[in-house]
A and B are shown apart, each in its own frame.
Chain A
Amino acid sequence: MTQNSSQTSLLHGFAQKLRGLFSPGGKGSDMDSGSGGKRGCNDRGLLVFDHTGEVIRAERLLRKAGLDVEVKGPPPELRTGCDMVVVFELVSQARVLDVLEREGLAPSQVVSAHDVLLEPVSLFQIKHLDDRWLMVRAANMKITLDAADGRIVNISGGGCPDVPWVAHRLCGLRLDEAPDPLTMGQTLCCYSLQKAFEELRRQVACGA
């Protein structure tokens, strides 16, 4: 019998993110609180790249450098396809660009953020099946672990072409030995899979 104990968990204080990130001022911005007038929206900037893989690399480099960055959906006028932008604090622009330049990475555009950014999916869905398998879903990607031997047995969902490639590389590996999906894939679907992968690891570490 399948134990369908579906539950929806929150990632990293979803409510806090909703309060903070949906506000035009962005996360941690108090400048618009109680102002009663124009809401500040220029404390964040957007890094636009030509390829999704560059966005993912930039995010990794900037986080490694200790910068507060996030990946979001671009406003319509900046969209080119399966794309994302890196959101950063405008006050850190010089350092951001310096970090990227030292790694040979240059955004095609650097613009101020407005209140048109889209919020990435932040919820996870967790399912236990037959007291043996654990499935985590993030956005359109699902990853399933066989708890009996700690191996990734299936990856499902998505539509970008790196999904079958990454799934082929990951299925059969032990979760604790598997490389991060983003080391092999470059698209938004792979980004979703990375989130599911990280949550799966977190669930396992918590004894799920």
Chain B
Amino acid sequence: MWCIAGTLPDPDFALCPAGLEGESTVAGGLLHLPDGQAVPVQRGTAALAATAILACRELGIAPPRLLLAGDPGSGAGSRAIYAWLEQNLTGIAPAGLTFHYLFPDQDWHNRVLMAAQALAVPPIMVADAGFMYVAKMSGYADAYDLFTPDLGELAFLADEKAPHPFYTRGFLLAREDDVPPLLQRALEHGNCPKNLIIKGSKDYIVVDGRVIDTVDAPSVPAMECIGGTGDLVTGLATAFLCGGAAMDEACTAAARMARLLAQLCAPNPGTQIGELIEMLPEAMRSARSVWPTTLSASSV
């Protein structure tokens, strides 16, 4: 079982372990949880989860289970998730974990990481958003299997002094030419895992510390403005890894599929991420050649 852990922008949404006990579904622009609750598929963890669930449905595999809590920024919902994971991770023993919007808290991060590393079979661990920030801050970023930063966030990972992207030296000055030295610096300081999808006008696929591929087509400039496009890429990578794809194929396929979805939807800068995710099944069906080979073969 793969677990996605993250928060929702809803102060009234209590910690919901029910999402781990059964499969969630996506319909009508809503993420439906096994206990009957439904949340809108908007930017953030709901967008990542909906992407992964819809992609898994097309791949013909069981979708990830969800551990969600509402947190509008106080950190309370995030700490509820951290605490639940620390106490119960052994019981669910996930094959993989994707951490998303969580309040950066080093102490809680370290407790959860220790719990994950104590499992008999350590899970594949993916981190994005706030959890990627805190993983780097903690000094244990290299304990993870995959981060999905954009170019500015790569500069943050490469800046060993920065506790948050807000303080990153040269954050907005990072250019694609800078990827190799920034990657090298982040790796040297142990501030990133060996595998990354570096998102930008050109996506860089990094496996075992080396750039193995780049993806720059099709290019839809409006995607830069749309909140949730990073969630889309991380959700796709989660789905492919959840299906057993190798890291290199999962990352490349995620970057390509997100771009093909953008091309299909032809968004403008005002398009909402939910509108794109609705079209994901059609995009997946029309681009089977992009799927990781193991999944493409098994679902025929």
Contacts and interface: CB of A to CB of B under 8 A. Distances in A.
Interface of A: 2, 4, 8, 51, 53, 72-74, 79-83, 118-121, 123-125, 127, 129-130, 133, 135, 137, 139-140, 142, 144, 146, 153-168, 171, 184-192
Contact of A163 (B44, B168, B222): B44
Q: Per DSSP, are chain A's interface residues mostly helix, strand or loop, or mixed?
A: mixed
B259 to A, nearest CB: 15
Given A79-B137, A154-B270, A120 B167 contact: yes
Contacts of B103: 81-82, 160-161, 187
A156 B226 contact: yes
B3 to A, nearest CB: 18
A73 B162 contact: yes
B171 interface: yes
B161 interface: yes
Interface of B: 7-11, 42-45, 71-75, 77-78, 101-107, 128-134, 137, 150, 152-153, 156, 161-169, 171-173, 221-222, 224-230, 268-272
Q: Which of the listed residues A81, A123, A184 has the most CB atoms from chain B within 10 Å of its own CB?
A: A81
A74 B106 CA distance: 15
A121 B172 contact: yes
A129 B269 contact: yes
Contacts of A168: 9, 42-43
B234 to A, nearest CB: 11
Contacts, number: 190
B270 A161 contact: no
B278 to A, nearest CB: 17
A164 B44 contact: yes
17 contacts: A2-B222, A72-B167, A73-B166, A82-B130, A120-B167, A121-B171, A129-B222, A140-B152, A140-B171, A144-B269, A153-B269, A159-B128, A159-B131, A160-B130, A161-B103, A164-B45, A192-B166
Contacts of A2: 221-222
Contacts of A82: 103-105, 130, 133-134, 163-164
B43 A135 contact: no
B166 A188 contact: yes
Nearest to B78: A161
B269 A154 contact: yes
Contacts of A159: 101, 104, 128-133, 165
B172 A125 contact: yes
Contacts of A192: 165-166
A139 B173 CA distance: 10
Contacts of A154: 225-227, 269-272
A162 B72 contact: yes
A164 B43 contact: yes
Contacts of B164: 73, 82, 188
B230 to A, nearest CB: 8
Contacts of A80: 105-107
Nearest to A71: B166
Contacts of B227: 154-157, 164, 167, 171
Contact of A142 (B129, B130, B168, B225): B225
Contacts of B228: 156
A22 to B, nearest CB: 11
Contact of A73 (B152, B163, B270): B163
Nearest to A4: B221
A161 B269 contact: no
Contacts of B44: 163-164
Contacts of A74: 163
Contacts of A188: 164, 166
Given A125-B172, A165-B9, A133 B225 contact: yes
A161 B72 contact: yes
Contacts of A166: 73
B8 to A, nearest CB: 7
A190 B161 CA distance: 21
B101 A164 contact: yes
A191 B166 contact: yes
Nearest to A144: B225
Given A73-B162, A129-B222, A186 B101 contact: no
A156 B163 contact: no
Contacts of B11: 165
B79 to A, nearest CB: 11
